[in-house]
Amino acid sequence: MPKTVITPPGTRTPIAPFSPGTLADGVVLETIKSVIETAGGTMHDVTMNHIFLKDWADYAAMNKVYAEFFPGDKPARFCIVCGLVRPDFLVEIASIAHIGVK
């Protein structure tokens, strides 16, 4: 299955070997809203989020911001505490969205 890398304008070069998002047969994997929008979708297309926190103390604050990006029906998700790719990161989120053919 061919894939297309989705890089929103203004995105910094990743510090590790990954892409901000990929489009593969109508399925987008992304970490930020602009990836989905660049691919032609909206946050309503997100079906699953994988949330990684540096510290459980940030869980309530993450949920508050999360609710702003996902009003109404929420996508499925899980959340764990772990070491993150950069020491200054507090949270990382990997998302799966399905963007239908229009």
Number of domains in the chain: 1
Q: Could you tell me the two tokens for 47?
A: 């079906």
d(CA 69, CA 64): 9
**Structural domain of residue 64, as residue ranges?**
3-98
Helix (H) or strand (E) holding 36: helix 33-38
Decide: helix, strand or coil at residue 71: coil
* Residues 39-51: tens digit of each pLDDT: 888 999 999 999 9
CATH of the domain at 12: 3.30.1330.40
* Residues 4-18: tens digit of each pLDDT: 777 888 888 877 777
* Residues 66-82: tens digit of each pLDDT: 888 888 899 999 999 99
> Catalytic amino acids?
79
DSSP class of 56: G
* Residues 79-96: tens digit of each pLDDT: 999 998 888 888 888 888
pTM exceeds 0.85 for this model: no
Q: How many CA atoms lie within 13 A of 37 on its CB side?
A: 6
